[in-house]
Amino acid sequence: MLKKLYPDKILSLNNRWTVILSILMILIIFVGLIYALFISPPDYIQGDSVRIMYVHVPSSFISLGCFAFIGIASIFSLIFKIKFTPLIAKSLAPIGTVFTLVSIVTGSLWGKPTWGVWWVWDARLTSMVILFCFYIAYILTWKFINDFNKANKISSIIGIVGMFNLPVIKYSVDWWHTLHQPSSITLTSAPTIHYTMLIPLIIMLFGLIIYSLIIFLMKYKTEIMKFKLEKKK
Amino acid sequence: MLSKKVKLKIFYLIFLLFCISIFIFLILKSLEDNIVYFFSPTEIYNKPTISLNKKIRLGGLVKEGSTQKKDSSINFIITDLKNEIIVSYNGLLPNLFAEGKGVIAEGQLTDKKYFIAEKILAKHDENYMPPEVKKAIENSN
């Protein structure tokens, strides 16, 4: 599996793959949006604002997932000095940043009609802002430090330390009283979300994951090319 | 298989991660009172010292049948099914404010049983369902 991510494999990756994935993504998101916006029912108390969830939850999922991968890649690049793991992490960072922002903004839009406020500093929302700061710090390290090895070291430390924030985000709603509601979908018990709403949520999640994958592959390929050019100089 | 240098690095990293997690745990533990967004009535009852006339947040469920409206002011009871606190509020309520639903009141305690709210937030729970399903559940009860 990891071998598929070797630089030479990625460089020889045909553009056809991107096209196939893009078509698949457009189809899935099209179906997902139709389902989410028209077929799925409104919620019994939130009404139509429940539809914001179909973008909000997948975005949050991807933003946490991306950082988890960045953290793991950071550990690998610190211990084993593998040249391509920092490139993987570096390519994932912008995707995660954008989805964190989408998650925060959509959450805020949902919060106003539901809670009555745009923003509160409860544990879940605050830890999400901290995640955003870690993403920004990670990206800026690569931008401002020109020496590859030095940038790799510092950004890896940011990636590893930031990983500790992930369980805090995930379990903040269980550990402390928060305004944000606990998870509706857990591994241990049945989802507390009706299946007519769960289906579009899962379709949207798949669509946005494929979207992230496309952006990742494109970015990763560019990073490898840049890295090889640097080396030749 | 792994060289000595790599092994040393792994041990060092594990040690470091362990230290960081303990460090973070201690910070979060000591900040607990500031991290929690609101207190439940029971927590307020169990507090050895309650600070009156200081802004705090109280959260729980709006007790069924407890809301009394008079002009623009409203009285209701926040309960966590063990203890209750009477809340009085003057102002606009969020649309999702309803009896039996979650609510958070921001304001001051005048004593352990009475709370004057300046702001009311509706708390949504983790249940999502279409109105028909809700009706069906209510009918079967």
A115/chain B closest Cα distance in angstroms: 5
Helix (H, G, I), strand (E, B) or coil at A119: coil
Whole-number Cα distances in Å, A194 to A168, B125, B128, B131: 27, 14, 6, 11
- Look at residues A119, A111, A126, A128 and name the one whose alpha carbon lies nearest to residue A64: A128
> What does the pLDDT profile of chain B (141 residues) look like in tens digits?
678 888 888 888 899 889 989 999 999 888 888 888 899 988 888 887 777 778 889 999 998 888 888 878 889 999 988 888 999 999 888 888 888 889 999 999 888 888 999 999 999 888 888 888 888 888 887
> Which residue in A33, A40, A56 sits closest to A180, CA to CA?
A56
**In sequence order, which residues have a C-beta less than 8 Å from that of residue A85 and are 6 or more positions away?**
A73, A74, A76, A77
Q: Is B85 helix (H, G, I), strand (E, B) or coil?
A: strand
**In which band, very low, low, confident or very high, does the pLDDT at A1 lie, cut at 50, 70 and 90?**
low
CB-CB neighbours of A195 under 10 Å: 12
Distance separating alpha carbons of residues A131 and A97, to the nearest angstrom: 9
Of residues A100, A79, A219, the one with CA closest to residue A166: A100
Are A120 and B134 inside 8 Å of each other by CB?
no
pLDDT value, residue A2 = 65
CA distance A85 to chain B (A): 16
| pLDDT tens profile A10-67 | 777 767 888 999 999 999 999 999 999 999 998 888 888 899 999 999 999 999 999 9
Nearest residue on chain B to A156, judged by CA atoms? B13
Among the partner residues A41, A117, A177, nearest to B121 by beta-carbon distance: A117
CB B28 to CB A184 under 8 A? no
- Beta strands B84-90 and B114-123: pairing type? parallel
Nearest CA in chain B to A53: B128
Contact B9 A78 (CB under 8 A): yes
Residue A182 DSSP code: P
ipTM of predicted assembly, 2 dp: 0.85
Total-model pTM: 0.90
Question: Alpha-carbon distance A13 to A4, whole Å?
Answer: 10
Angle at the Cα of B12 from the Cα atoms of B8 and B14, rounded to 5 degrees:
120
Of A65, A19, A202, A42, nearest to B130 (Cα)? Answer: A42
Angle separating helix axes A123-144 and A53-79, nearest 10 degrees: 50
Share of chain A above pLDDT 70, in %: 98
Contacts of B38 in chain A (CB under 8 A): 177, 179
- Which of B6, B24, B124 is the closest to A114 by Cβ? B124
- If one compares B98 and A136, the residue with the highest pLDDT of the two is A136
